[in-house]
Amino acid sequence: MKRRCSWTTLVMAGLLACLSAAVEGRADMFVCDDGRGRMHFTNTPTGQNCKPFTPRQKFIESPRNTFRVRGDASLSGGVYRGGASPASYDHYIKQVGNMYNVDPYLIKAVIRTESAFNHRAVSCKGAQGLMQLMPGTAEDLRVENPFNPGENIDGGVRYLRSLLDTFDGNLILSLAAYNAGPGLVKRTGGVPRIPETIDYVRKVLINYRMYKTRGG
């Protein structure tokens, strides 16, 4: 949801497919080469050249303006900076996730990426709270106090649910829309070629896989 202040010049051909509910508690992700030099995420590898995506991988720009995978990337998504323990929000996350049919591990991955579980976090663009709601979005969602963890999580998950519905359950596009806005994702027909948004989607997916693997 929030937009960070730093920008670099990168171009991305596309992150495609949807990460669905995991089997046996794991979010198995693969990165596949479509044969034309483009890479995409999927949880259902095809006959294409697909390799497991692990938290130690990251994307770099290639000479063909696409992305490939290389290792040695640290697990990203923010570091807990004090205040209430991240586990103290689990009851809110589980309750709201069940209410709106959103995987609690996904919610937790978004919160970790957005605010590192700092319910008082404010971005340079003015996004607020655990799920970094912009003031206008919070108002539309009728979130009176975005720094209240319960209200913020409820509003953020309702917004994420609406994006999942808008993009037919495509998690990659929904996460891109959470960061860059649904209008821009619709206009571009995919993940916008914005370095921050590309990195944001990657971080949420890494954190999501981590929580699914470790059981929270």
* pLDDT number for residue 95: 95
% of the chain surpassing 70 pLDDT: 62
Answer yes or no: 61 catalytic.
no
The answer to whether residue 114 sits within a structural domain is yes
173: left (phi over 0), alpha (psi -120 to 50) or beta: alpha
The range of the structural domain enclosing residue 99 comes to 86-214
pLDDT tens profile 53-79: 543 333 322 222 222 222 222 223 333
* pLDDT number for residue 49: 74
* pLDDT number for residue 2: 54
Counting the structural domains of the chain, the total is 2
CB atoms within 10 A of CB 144: 10
CATH code at position 106? 1.10.530.10
pTM to 2 decimals? Answer: 0.66
Q: Which of 114, 139, 144, 196 is catalytic?
A: 114
* pLDDT number for residue 34: 61
The answer to whether residue 105 sits within a structural domain is yes
Positions in the chain short of pLDDT 70: 1-48, 52-84, 216
